[in-house]
Amino acid sequence: MATTHKKRLLVLRFSALGDVTMIAPVLKEFTEQNPDIEVYVASRPFMKTIFNQFPQIKFISVDLNQHYKGIGGLYQLYKELNHYQFDYVADFHNVIRTKIITTFFKLNGTKTATLDKGRKEKKALINPNKRIFKQLKLTTERYADVLRTLGFKIELTHKIHPIGFKDEKAIGIAPFAAFSSKMYPIEKMKIVAQKLAEDGFKIYLFGGGKVEAEELQLWENLHPSIQSLANKMSFEEELKTISTLHCMISMDSANMHLASLMGTRTISIWGGTHPFAGFLSYGQSMNDVIQDESLTIRPTSIFGKDPKEFQDVDYFQNLSAEYVYEEIRSRLN
């Protein structure tokens, strides 16, 4: 008797860390609801660790720094991916590179669908003259919509699931972000960390790269219960540590999404960007967002790169260290 071949779905998303991380819970729930579909993710090699805890999601490593340059290179990548005989291709990125690859598949007769980024409504959200200030569709739902366009049924739970042991006294702090408009001032954040340590919490600091690691190393002098993990462990070990935290305190950054991935509650601090753009991490609550609601020029950007006229704005001017500390404590109690 012939065995029936499971239908195969390819998901394309090459960057950035936070965006790729948001894919994982969507695909986890998709595989649970569509067990007859074999799911593959094609992304940069570094992203593989994100999917390690989901053996049902297969990972294809694509090193775009070394290979696949230009149209010819992308055609080569398409040919390599085509060996898997995919029945569906979901473009979760919608950039020129993924559009070209998706087009090759489409011309081959493969069913494809592409992410709708909601550019028009996002533009309206940050338009200072005619702002339409409302909650936009969550990015995770936009990912799910791509799968729905391909004909699949998927209902997202928008719940995080703790993984294993949680240390009730362990708090993570990830004080950095890609843009300064998203970063609560370091001097204020140090005070918050010190006060939480004085309350008996163990504070673990997260960051990456030489500059961030050097800064966080200095924080250890503030209190014996403050420990920097920056550049001291592998990405996999870092994720394991995040899974044991009672809570992560993060900016609008990848660490917020990594905490969701590892089933850890996040209290997030927002500046120039706003959760209404749809980037609050999966399963996290708007009740755990700290931001200055009185600053009506917000949001000034979707991703944190400010237009020139807003580059000198202090989005955290009304959020004192004492205020942020009290806001965190009220949520932890």
Q: Identify the structural domains of the chain with CATH numbers, from first to last.
A: 7-149 (3.40.50.2000), 167-332 (3.40.50.2000)
The radius of gyration of the chain from alpha carbons, rounded to an integer in Å, stands at: 21
Contact of 174 with 207, CB cutoff 8 Å: yes
Q: Which two tokens stand for residue 68?
A: 């696949």
Greatest extent of the chain over all pairs of C-alpha atoms, in Å: 70
Tell me how far apart the alpha carbons of residues 14 and 63 are, in angstroms, rounded to a whole number: 10
Q: What is the pLDDT of residues 221-276, one digit of tens each?
A: 999 999 999 999 999 999 999 999 999 999 999 999 999 999 999 999 999 999 99
Residue 164 has a pLDDT of 86
Phi, psi of 40 (to 5 degrees): -125, 140
pTM of the model: 0.96
Q: If we measure between CA atoms, which residue out of 81, 27, 67, 21 comes closest to residue 47?
A: 21
Tell me how far apart the alpha carbons of residues 108 and 88 are, in angstroms, rounded to a whole number: 11
Low-confidence ranges of the chain (pLDDT < 70): 1-4
Tell me how far apart the alpha carbons of residues 14 and 23 are, in angstroms, rounded to a whole number: 11
Residue 5 has a pLDDT of 78
Residue 3 has a pLDDT of 53
